[in-house]
Structure 1
Amino acid sequence: MDLLCNAYSNASDDEEEEQPKRQRVSLSSPNPPKRHLPLSSPPSFNNQTQAPMLGRYISKRQRALMGSTPAPLPEPVPVPSPFTLSGSILDADIHHNILSLLKSKAKGHQSPNLISEKLSATLYGHTKAVNAIHWSSSHAHLLASAGMDHAVCIWNVWSRNQKKACVLNFHNAAVKDVKWSQQGHFLLSCGYDCTSRLIDVEKGLETQVFREDQIVGVIKFHPDNSNLFLSGGSKGQVKLWDARTGKIVHNYNRNLGPILDVEFTMNGKQFISSSDVSQSNASENAIIVWDVSREIPLSNQVYVEAYTCPCVRRHPFDSTFVAQSNGNYVAIFTTNPPYRLNKCKRYEGHVVSGFPVKCNFSLDGKKLASGSSDGSIYLYDYQSSKVVKKIKAHDQACIDVAFHPVIPNVIASCSWDGSILVFE
């Protein structure tokens, strides 16, 4: 028995010497050592369901299977078409009574009540504020509008079908102003993308792009030469462009604030500019009369009151022009030197409240229409400066008003809410 005990004890001693790190197990120990579980076997690769781990070897076969299923490409972002035709710019589907008015220049019509309701129209299409509207003088059934939604809309106002004839998306920023050329279906627009763009509406093509280093806020065709136009921008520069060459003919700069409006005099030899000079403490430069050919100011002390004027319009016959003032009135001046302000007459009643509210004369020059921040249109008698009629037109500020170039009792208006109205 002793021999067996000695034999087992010797075997354990040898084993302890060979493996010194192994602990001796005692059945009587209250805290036996923990048993170590074997490591789990590595998971098998499944090329279709699991991605390979970082740093693991990938066989050629596995790489080939992985490359056979390429990642899906991102969906392309839809780009809006620069020209969207939704109706017609032709006058074929206009009511025959209205068409006869347009062709006869609305003189001597015997039964205006017959079509009074048909002359009114509500035009919805812009998703943001409308900055300007302008009737075509050569195609008097068409109205153009410039919006903060980057779009220029062409409206076939009295069409029996689709009144929105087409949408022009050539600008990539808000459009500030729009003007029809006196020749054909050409339209000029400008905006926050620092460009003015000449568009052939009939073909839906952009024919010229006039680029500047400033936001272009206003444009105006020369009254005697439709190839020339003025542009005014945010850096206080006014430029005279030649649309045939796409180059600048003259540059008028006084290092003032942004140009708010420009207007040619009746003979086209001078023009009037209105600037935002609220930060320069030089209110006498708010309105300047320029010599077109010599690039020099003829007078810079036309308006000395501490208000900016977002709109300037000349009278169609008299030697006068008016300026919409942020003082909530329209001031009147002479277009002959020394370009005096008439301190005894002004057109009051509407409210501007900082909006770029515009005004316009009627065809015969007997009425002056102005928008208002309360959404109304105010009609003034030109001679007496009294309010003839107040029309509640829009829910938000009425920005621009435009008399029809043929039918004298039709007026269009646009609003900060994106709506456009046409009515008697």
Structure 2
Amino acid sequence: MSDAIATAEDTESSYDPTPKASWEHEELAQVKIKVIRAHNDSVNSCEYFDNDQKILTGSSDRTVKLFDIEEGVCTKTYHTRHSDIVTEARGTPDRSKFFTSSCDKSVQMFDSEIGKILWSGNHNGMVMTCKVSSDGKLAASGSDLDYCLKVWDVHTGEVIHNIPDHHDSTITSVIFAPDNDKIMTTSMDRTTKFFDLKTKKTTIHLQGHINVVSGCDITRDERKFVTGGWDKNVCVWDIATGTYRSKGPVKLNGAHEGSVSCVKFSPDGLMLVSGSYDQTICVWDVENEIQKIKLQGHTGWVEDVCFSQDQAWLMSCARDCSVRLWNIEDSDKIPIVLEKKKAVGVKITKCEKCGKPFSMANSEDYRELTHCVFCRVHSSTTFMENSQLDLMNPET
């Protein structure tokens, strides 16, 4: 770790009033699309920031940008000291800092208000991925060459865990569990690992993809885990019951024609979204194990995807230098694309709440559903509790 107190020239944080987001969809389109074009190269990561009021992006142009979500205006451009592309930029929960990883073999922690580097650290190889824990105390990064997982103290930059050869090939993604007691990593070695921060041991080793595992995510209740891979599959693992040990994962396939690059669960875990190098995005009904929506519009590889907290919006970024915001709150009106399934049939039924058609798995042991996934989302206990907390704590 180096003590990097940057000068204004090193990490200039500037107000950039242009360009502004634009609506780019046909007049009668069922999914409204807002597009932000502000980076000069591939946008490699995107996330909602400041209670979904802002957007934080990291790019191959070596900058990190902050956008106002209402107008889509870039409010700050952080000129990092990275000498190569920024592979990811991730904010702390209190919005005071953000963490970056780069192919220049370094990571950097920034003060998001004044744009100064608080500290920086190094790997022996290109740093492909980074994340910050939900309590804002730890940061993690993964690299190639030495296949190393490093865990950092967010405030001091001290290396808490240094695990070289954690995988047999490049680490492609890293995330913290919701309780921040373990870290999940995916790799080009076609495996996924769960590393327990207390015992300092790998507790789960998942093998189910036949090619590079590119990304992963976990539900807030830690019952479901998802991985996406270059074998074009999205795999959902039941880690609560451990049935994956005998039956393996549920594979959601047939939707993407290219490698799956990223996956993310909705806040309540009822949906998940996958992005692909085929330039498309798919939204899946997790319980029914079927594709709900397919979104097209990017003209480059999709690099990152995520849901807004109210689940009305999807955000994606791609190598076409753009960030797209997809309004999916009325997407249950869109005719469902039914994929061929060998073991499980699919039937269409009508939602008793909104009256709109939705698809449902027609298996013998599947419980009968009377509400579409979107009505289930808005009536779920988790969603209602989070909405009430937001109303009670508008400043958080």
Give the equivalent residue in structure 2 for 1:317. Answer: 268
- Name stretches of at least 5 consecutive residues in structure 2 with no aligned partner: 8-12, 14-49, 54-67, 333-389, 391-396
262-271 or 229-238: which moved more?
262-271
Q: 1:320 to 1:276 in 2, by over 3 A?
A: same
Give the equivalent residue in structure 1 for 2:325. Answer: 379
- Check conservation: 1:346, 1:385, Cα contact below 8 A: no
User: RMSD value over aligned CA atoms?
Assistant: 3.0
1 CA distance for matches of 2:235 and 2:98?
Answer: 30
The residue type paired with residue 289 of structure 1 is V
- Check conservation: 1:310, 1:324, Cα contact below 8 A: yes
SS of the residue corresponding to residue 316 of structure 1 reads coil
1:217 aligns with 2:165: no
The two structures have a TM-score, normalised by structure 1, of: 0.58
2 CA distance for matches of 1:117 and 1:288?
Answer: 33
Superposed counterparts of 1:143-158, under 5 Å: 143-158=98-113
The residue type paired with residue 96 of structure 2 is H
SS of the residue corresponding to residue 323 of structure 2 reads strand
Which of 153, 175, 179 is the equivalent residue of 1:200? Answer: 153
Post-superposition CA distance 1:78-105 (Å, at most 9, x none): xxxx2233169xxxxx9xxxxxxxxx97
User: How many angstroms does 1:363 deviate by?
Assistant: 2.9
- Check conservation: 2:219, 2:268, Cα contact below 8 A: no
The two structures have a TM-score, normalised by structure 2, of: 0.62
Give the equivalent residue in structure 1 for 2:341. Answer: none
Q: 1:341 to 1:146 in 2, by over 3 A?
A: same
2 CA distance for matches of 1:133 and 1:124?
Answer: 13
2 CA distance for matches of 1:298 and 1:331?
Answer: 22
Post-superposition CA distance 1:101-136 (Å, at most 9, x none): xxx9799xxxxx9xx999811111221111111111
Q: 1:291 to 1:152 in 2, by over 3 A?
A: same
Post-superposition CA distance 1:208-243 (Å, at most 9, x none): 1233222211111112x2111211111111111101
User: How many angstroms does 1:384 deviate by?
Assistant: 4.1
Q: 1:228 to 1:117 in 2, by over 3 A?
A: closer
Aligned length, in residue pairs:
268
Q: 1:205 to 1:292 in 2, by over 3 A?
A: same
- Check conservation: 1:150, 1:175, Cα contact below 8 A: yes
Give the equivalent residue in structure 2 for 1:290. Answer: 237
Give the equivalent residue in structure 2 for 1:246. Answer: 200
Please tell me whether Structure 1 or Structure 2 has the larger radius of gyration of its CA atoms.
Answer: 1
Q: 1:248 to 1:382 in 2, by over 3 A?
A: same
Give the equivalent residue in structure 1 for 2:182. Answer: 228
2 CA distance for matches of 1:348 and 1:252?
Answer: 31
Q: 1:236 to 1:314 in 2, by over 3 A?
A: same
Which of 301, 312, 324 is the equivalent residue of 2:251? Answer: 301
The residue type paired with residue 3 of structure 2 is T
2 CA distance for matches of 1:173 and 1:121?
Answer: 29
- Name the % identity: 17
2 CA distance for matches of 1:309 and 1:315?
Answer: 17
The residue type paired with residue 213 of structure 2 is I
Post-superposition CA distance 1:147-197 (Å, at most 9, x none): 1111111121212xx52222222x111111111113343211111121111
Q: 1:265 to 1:339 in 2, by over 3 A?
A: farther
Post-superposition CA distance 1:49-93 (Å, at most 9, x none): xxxxxxxxxxxxxxxxxxxxxxxxxxxxxxxxx2233169xxxxx
